[in-house]
Structures are given as structure tokens and as C-alpha cells.
Structure 1
Amino acid sequence: MGKQRAPKSVYRIGAGAITAALVAAQYWLSVVDAADGALLTRSLKFFSFFTILTNLLAAAALLAPAIAPRSALGRLLDRPGVRTAIAGYMIMVGVVYYLLLVGLSDRQGASLFIEHALHAVTPPLFVFDWLLFVDRRSLDWRIGVRGLTYPLIYLAWVLARGATSGWYPYPFLDVADLGYARVLVNAAGLVAIYIALEAVLVAIARALPARSTEN
């Protein structure tokens, strides 16, 4: 019999598959199965949501180290600092949705169910992986600042695309409605929350027993 997969790999493959399947299902319902047939436009909008991009990042971070641990991508996404940053992004996905966005969607049925799953199910799946399997011995307080690269690039993309299209994925980033000053204040507030959240994760990491990277 072949060597059995370790619990870490089993968990990551299962959680990663669930996350990827939910994103794929939402893409089908929101884009491919849309009545107007505007596939390119709908696809661009779909992949402009932080929730979708971050869930895809989480799925890759779960699957790549489990399936291809020796690949460059697998090694990168298995770094404790990278996984801690992603854990913070995923927590932000859930927190921002349930504080600011819940109830604003016009989705119904299966699409609405998946929307909630992408904010309430997949973030805990990734955070559980962080708690159970990440070697936290190398974490330090600078992770929050280092982790800002991804959300700041996302913000720049949203503002640049919105300036040309007039469409923004979230109401708190809607320059047409709020103006740049208010949007930048909103963004600064979210940045501050993210940095504070990463500090909490590092504090938790230091309070818990260190985890080994061994499978």
C-alpha cells in the first residue's frame, strides 16, 4: 500500500477543494449562467471582488503545499508569515462582510448561500489550518505591515478601474458616490484594522505552543 497522507495534507486538500469549489460554483451562477451573455464584463467584475480573489488565494495556499510541496509556489505559500498574512485577509473577508455588506446583495437561492459560505465557512477553514498546522516560531510583529502589499495593490486596481468604468465592487470604495477623500479614509481604516488583526494573530501565536512544520 502507498504511503498515507498526513492529517495536515488531508485537511488542506479537503479545505482547499471546498474553497475552490465554492468560488467555481459562484462563478458559474453569477457569470456563466447569466442571461445577458456579457461573459467578459461579468468575469472582470466577478474577479474584482476582494472576497473572490482572497478565497482563490486561500485555496492556492491550502492546495499547493499539500499537492506540490517542493514547487516554488508550494514553498512560498507554506511560509508561516505568508500563511499568517492570508489568515488575516480571510478574517477581514468575513468581518467586513458581516459588519458592512450583509443584506446588500441581490443574490438569491444557491448563489446567496454560496455568498455566505465564502464569508462564513472558508475563512474559518483557513484559520483552523493556521491554528493547527503552521509553525509559528518565526512570526514577528512586522507581518501586518509586510502583508499590506496585496490589499494595497487591490485598492490601486479598484480605484484605477473605477476611474475608467465608473463601477466599484464595494460601496465604501465608491469614489463616484463618496469622493476620493472619504474612500481613502475608509481604506485607511481598513488598513489599520488589518494591522491590528495581524498583531492579534502574532500575539495568539506567541501564546500557543509552537507547531512543527512536519506532516
Structure 2
Amino acid sequence: MKKNIALIFAFIGWFALIAQYYLHIENRISSLLEANFRFFTYFTILVNLLVTLYLTSVALKKQGAEDKNIGYLTAITVYITIVGVTYQIILRGTWQPTGLQRIVDELLHSVMPVLTIIFWYLFENKAKVKYSQILKWAIFPIVYLIVILVRGSFSGFYPYPFVDVTALGMTKVLINSLFVTIFFFITSFLYIRIGKALKK
């Protein structure tokens, strides 16, 4: 059952990512090279890619093979929860997509987060996930923030309005980033805590 569910969820993830890439390139306002760089500066894209690759690996894994990456599913579930919540609270009202873009938008920001949470609930080895892993999970979003800020200082492009240094200034962006970081640690703690409670 696990492999079948992973396959279905992975198919949805790949469809959303490929369709979003097509729309991004089709509607680009920059060179093709720059458009490709910008596509992979969106946290939404990177996290959905991580989730989809994980689901694909599960679907293709040999039956009964041991999962040596304990906590990885919880980590990507935390990441995509942040993607979903941030979009619903901060970004949803900033634009009104239509047609295929609306479908893809909902898949990436609403459907995939819910599917990932369901997969985590059903299949994560929750008892073995440790609180000490949270610091390791934080490396990815911290490195991501540094990269987009450094690149933005050269290109002038920032993927999200709350990290736009040009519009907000560095101080405001760092404050916004601090709030997201706090949310990350709280979310990570809650997933581990809830997971252990569910196992009991």
C-alpha cells in the first residue's frame, strides 16, 4: 500500500512541477537562463521537488527495504507545511491565477502539503525521530535564505515580497526571516511531539 500511495502522490507532484516549469518559461520576462535560475530560487519549487523525489524513491524502493533516513520524511513535511501555511496566510491574496496556473498553484501550495502530511501520518517511523535532528533540518532553509539574499543583491530579483531587500530594506527582511525561523522550530517541535504521542 505504501508504494502505491507514494506512486500516486509522486505523480501529482511531478505533474505540478513540470506544469509550473512550463508556465514559468512560457511567461518569462527575462532571458531563458535567468528564468531557469529564478525558477529554482522559489522555496515552494525546491520543497515540492524534495517531496516528490522522496515519494518517487519510496515508490521505486524494493519491497521490505529498510529506510535508513529516519526523520527525513518529518523534515520535508515541516518544510512543505511552512510552504502551505505561508502561502495561505501571506501570499494567497497577492495574486489571482486563472486556468492551468490556478490548478498548479493549488497543487503546489495546498494539495501537496496535505498529501505529504497524510503520508507522514501513515508511514513515518515517528518513535525514532529525535528533537536533536531539528538543527540539522534547519540547515537547508538557512542556506536557502543566504543564497537568495546574496543572489538578489546582484540580480535584483527576490522570489518573495517578504524577503525583498530592495522594497523593505535588510533590517525588515531579517526580522521577517526571524519570524519564519521561529515558526520553523515550533513546527518541527510539534511534529516530533505529536508523532511520539501518536505512537504511544
Answer whether TM exceeds 0.5 for this pair.
yes
With over 3 angstroms needed to count, the CA separation of the structure-2 counterparts of 1:36 and 1:199, relative to structure 1, is: closer
- 1:106 deviation in Å? 5.8
Paired position in structure 2 for 1:24: 18
Give matches, 1:87-106, under 5 Å.
87-105=77-95
With over 3 angstroms needed to count, the CA separation of the structure-2 counterparts of 1:208 and 1:41, relative to structure 1, is: same
2 CA distance for matches of 1:198 and 1:67?
28
1 CA distance for matches of 2:29 and 2:97?
16
Give matches, 1:1-215, under 5 Å.
7-31=1-25, 33-34=26-27, 38-68=31-61, 79-105=69-95, 107-209=97-199
Q: Which moved more, 1:140-149 or 1:126-135?
A: 140-149
Runs (4+) off by over 6 Å:
none
TM-score, normalised by the number of residues in structure 2: 0.92
Identity of aligned residues (%): 31
Preserved contact between residue 69 and residue 75 of structure 1 (Cα < 8 Å):
no
Q: Which amino acid aligns with 1:14?
A: I
> 1:66-91: CA deviations, max 9, x gaps?
21459xxx977x62311111100010
2 CA distance for matches of 1:69 and 1:183?
45
Specify every segment of 5 or more residues in structure 1 that has no aligned partner in the other structure, as ranges: 1-6, 211-215
- 1:138 deviation in Å? 1.0
> 1:75-131: CA deviations, max 9, x gaps?
77x623111111000100000001110121364321122112211000111111110
User: Number of matched residues?
Assistant: 199
